[in-house]
Amino acid sequence: MNLSNKILILIKHPITLALFLFAILPLVLPFIGGYISLATEVIIMSIFALAFNLLLGYTGLTSFGHAAYLGLGAYGFALCELHLTQRIWFVPILSGIVLTGILSFLVGYVISKKKGIYYSLLTLAIGQLFYFVGFRWNEVTGGETGLTGLVRPTLEVPGLFSLNLSNALVFYYFVFVAFLLTILLLWRIVHSPFGAVLQIIKQNEGRAKYLGYNTFWYKCVCFTISGLFSGFAGALYAMFTYCAFADYLYWINSGDVVMMTLIGGGLTSFFGPLAGAAIFIIARNLFSSFTQNWQIFMGIIFVIFILFFPEGLFGILKKQKPFLSKGIGG
Amino acid sequence: MELIAVENLTKNFGGLRAVDGVTLQVKEGELVSIIGPNGAGKSTLFNLITGYIRPDKGKVFFRGEDITDLPVHQMVRKGIGRSFQLLNVFSELSVFENIRMGVQAHLGYGFEFFTPLDRLKEVREKVPAIIESVGLTGKETARAKDLSYGDNKILDVAVALTADPKAILLDEPTSGLAAKETGRMVDLIRRLSERLTILLVEHDMNVVFSVSGRIIVLNQGRIIAEGMPDDIRKDEGVQEAYLGGEWGC
């Protein structure tokens, strides 16, 4: 394969399109009544929804408590900034990821033997457990008032460049790079031998065992990876909002990520969650700007999607463009 | 040498004793069929031997090793394969992908997170031979759900073969098949029996009597007869079990 062919394939790749759209998002959003920080929220929630979809869309595991891992990432980031260091910019982010990774591994280990509704209820209960710990443990999490006064570090290579992340646009593109990293890693994971096993577990876990796969460990590791990326999104979210609250872990937010993923079409496409996060956050912003009862409208949108387009936005698109669908072939 | 040995295996479902103290042995290289009227406990016995469900009492041995409580994936790695009565392949995957997932497991891959799937040459190269050995060549790219029922059943057996089993348990491999497809399946069973030990549950008596080396008759969870096909055909107890001497089909 020569170089121009390779470049052509790269340009035509759906990841390129997704990146392009997200790269210009803060530039076009003002035209539809949005602002830069709305785009930032979309992109952080996209990372979260992609992480969530590794469980729901690829492995068929429904977590109703995933906001907990977003919140833990935020706590991990905040605790590191407040008590350890804010000097080296990536250390607080890393501690958000590590804290979430450890806890999601433990949770994954406990729940991965369970199936169906028991699995989902356990995720919900454990998620709420984390929420209440966050809400009550004043000494560590700040309880109701949360952890505030966080700072966004300045990215600096002395003599070369210095990026001030408290600038909204600069911060957006910082998160964009995080998003790029996430999308590349997750894309590789779902198209790896590991990702292929996840997808046959979704189709028929019993038979996957009869091929010789120890499905317990696959589900446990999958939950951990999903937790790691959720924690990553959570750390970015703490940077974004300059604080970490117990509210981030609340189960309503777990419902939101389910909604984003389903509306966008996470069950049919790798990219579904991106569209879902964008639709969800922009619609929420739009509705809440002219009515206090915006949740009713969000509910109606969700119901319409589930009734008439159960495969989400990408389920509709897929019929025109088959390359958008996922599959473990090729 | 005994490859599979079952000792006093018992399973109750509520008040019903589905399998009642079954003891049997299968020698290496044998093809043994288990027959019996509906509800005799054949499928339950199969599910007990392959770890699909766990017995209330009794033991299962494979090459002399107690495997009664072994998790399914370890049982498979020891060399026991099985097919399923109801279609149980990965219907969204193509024939090639179905087989590849099995080969991948057999070769011990699965926790590679960043390797592209196609990069596993060792896995990819083993797939065509298995597809060819069951006669599905030319249908590699067809999705399982688009295959005929007969091809699906053959694919089901092929998937079990990917684990390179020493023994394979076939659960009603010809049920629901038309005459021509049954013929293909019987050919496949014959070919497999040249190199594998086979335990077969089957309704079609023509198939059973034409391929089996030995037959075990189950009724109400118990073994009521055991022997060569000719002996079983003449056995009065067996004929009674099958409602007045008529062979079920």
Tell me how long chain B is: 249
Q: What is the pLDDT of residue A13?
A: 84
Q: For residue B248, what pLDDT is reported?
A: 47
Which of A156-160, A197-201, B113-117 tops mean pLDDT? A197-201
pLDDT given at position B2: 86
Residue bearing tokens 């699995």: A119
Distance CA A259, CA A276 (A): 8
Q: CB-based contact (8 Å) between A322 and chain B?
A: no
Is residue B215 over pLDDT 90?
yes
Give the pLDDT band of residue B249 (cuts 50, 70, 90).
very low
SS3 B83: coil
A207:B84 CB<8 A:
yes
pLDDT over 70, % of chain A: 96
Q: Is A132 a member of any domain? A: yes
Name which of A12, A106, A70 is nearest A238 in CA terms: A70
Query: Best residue in B52, B114, B162 to probe A by mutation, most A CBs within 10 Å?
Result: B114
Helical H segments across B55-167, by residue range:
72-78, 95-106, 121-133, 149-161
pLDDT at B244 exceeding the cut of 70: no
Of B50, B120, B159, the CB nearest to A193: B120
Cα A135 to the center of its chain, rounded Å: 23
What is the per-residue pLDDT for A330?
32
Q: Residue A128: inside a domain, yes or no?
A: yes
pLDDT band of A323, cuts 50, 70, 90: low
- Nearest CA to B109 out of A216, A210, A192 is that of A192
DSSP A21-38: HHHHHHHHGGGGT--HHH
Convert the pLDDT of each residue in A260-276 to its tens digit.
999 988 888 899 999 99
- Bridge partner list, B9: B22
DSSP characters over B4-58: EEEEEEEEEETTEEEEEEEEEEEETT-EEEEE-STTSSHHHHHHHHTTSS--SEE
pLDDT score at B16:
87
Structure-token match 């179905």, residue found? B98
Q: How far apart are CA A257 and CA A276, in angstroms?
A: 9
pLDDT at A297 over 80: yes
Q: Note whether residue A20 is domain-resident.
A: no
Residue of B77, B116, B123 with shortest CB distance to A191: B116
Q: Select from A193, A207, A329 the Cβ nearest to the Cβ of B110.
A: A193
Residue A321 contacts B where some CB pair is shorter than 8 Å: no
Q: Do residue A212 and residue B73 have CB atoms under 8 angstroms apart?
A: yes
| pLDDT at residue B247 greater than cutoff 70 | no
Residue A324 pLDDT > 60, yes or no? no
Nearest to A328 among B73, B89, B93 (CB): B93
Residues B191-212 pLDDT 10s? 999 999 999 998 888 899 999 9
Q: Which residues pair with B10 in a beta bridge?
A: B57
B chain contacts of residue A213, beta-carbon cutoff 8 Å: 73, 105, 110
Q: Which pLDDT belongs to residue A326?
A: 54
Cβ of B76 under 8 Å from any chain A Cβ? yes
Give me the number of domains chain A comprises.
Answer: 1
User: How many other C-beta atoms can be found within 10 angstroms of the C-beta atom of residue B49?
Assistant: 25
Among A188, A189, A197, A210, which would you mutate to test the B interface (most chain B Cβ atoms within 10 Å of its Cβ)? A210
- CA-based nearest distance B45→chain A, Å: 17
Burial (CB count within 10 angstroms: exposed 0-12, middle 13-18, buried 19+), residue B20: middle
Q: Is residue A88 part of a domain?
A: yes
Residue A228 belongs to some domain of the structure: yes
How high is the pLDDT of residue A325? 53
**Which among B123, B127, B192 is positioned nearest to B157, based on CA atoms?**
B192
Residue A301 confidence (pLDDT) above 60: yes
Instruction: Look at A188 and B77 and tell me if their CB atoms are within 8 Å.
Output: no
- Residue A286, chain B, CB below 8 Å: the answer is no
A203:B90 CB<8 A: yes
| B109–chain A Cβ distance below 8 A for any pair | yes
The C-alpha atoms of residue A297 and residue A262 are separated, in whole angstroms, by 16
Q: Is residue A71 part of a domain?
A: yes
Question: Do B97 and A221 make contact, defined as CB atoms within 8 angstroms?
Answer: no
Residue with tokens 């060399």: B79
Residue A124 structure tokens: 């919900």
User: Taking all residues of chain A, what is their mean pLDDT, rounded to a whole number?
Assistant: 89
**Residue pLDDT, tens place only, B17-76:** 899 999 999 999 999 999 988 888 888 999 999 999 999 999 999 999 999 999 999 999
- Give Cβ neighbours of residue B6 (< 8 Å, ≥ 6 apart): B22, B23, B24, B25, B45, B48, B49, B58, B59, B60, B61
Say what the pLDDT of residue A322 is: 55
Angle in degrees, CA B176, B179, B182, rounded to 5: 65
Please indicate if any CB of chain A lies within 8 Å of the CB of B162. Answer: yes
From the CA of A222, how many Å to the nearest CA of chain B? 11
Which residue's entry shows tokens 């028929």? A204
Q: For the domain made up of B1-79+197-249, give the CATH fold.
A: Rossmann fold (3.40.50)
Task: Answer yes or no: is pLDDT of A130 > 60.
Answer: yes
Q: How far apart are CA B196 and CA B165, in angstroms?
A: 8
Residue in chain B closest to A201 (alpha carbons) equals B90
Number of alpha helices (DSSP H) and beta strands (DSSP E) in chain A? 15, 2
Q: How far is CA B32 from CA B165, B173, B193, B213, in A?
A: 16, 14, 10, 6
Between chains, do B115 and A193 touch, taking CB under 8 Å as contact? Answer: yes
Q: pLDDT tens for residues B68-79?
A: 999 999 999 999
Place of tokens 């009544």: A33
Structure-block tokens of residue A161: 């460049």
Check residues B174 and A156 and name the one with the higher pLDDT: B174
> Domain range for residue A38?
34-251
Window B:167-186, CB contacts with A under 8 Å = none
Range list of β-strands (E), chain A:
154-157, 161-164
* Mean pLDDT value across chain B: 89
A159 touches chain B (CB under 8 A): no
> In this predicted structure, what is the pLDDT of residue A328?
43
What pLDDT does residue A320 have?
66
Alpha-carbon torsion (B182, B188, B190, B196), positive or negative: negative
Identify the helix (H) or strand (E) that includes residue A314.
helix A312-320
pLDDT of residue A127: 95
A183-237 pLDDT per residue, tens = 999 999 999 999 999 999 999 999 999 999 999 999 999 999 999 999 999 999 9
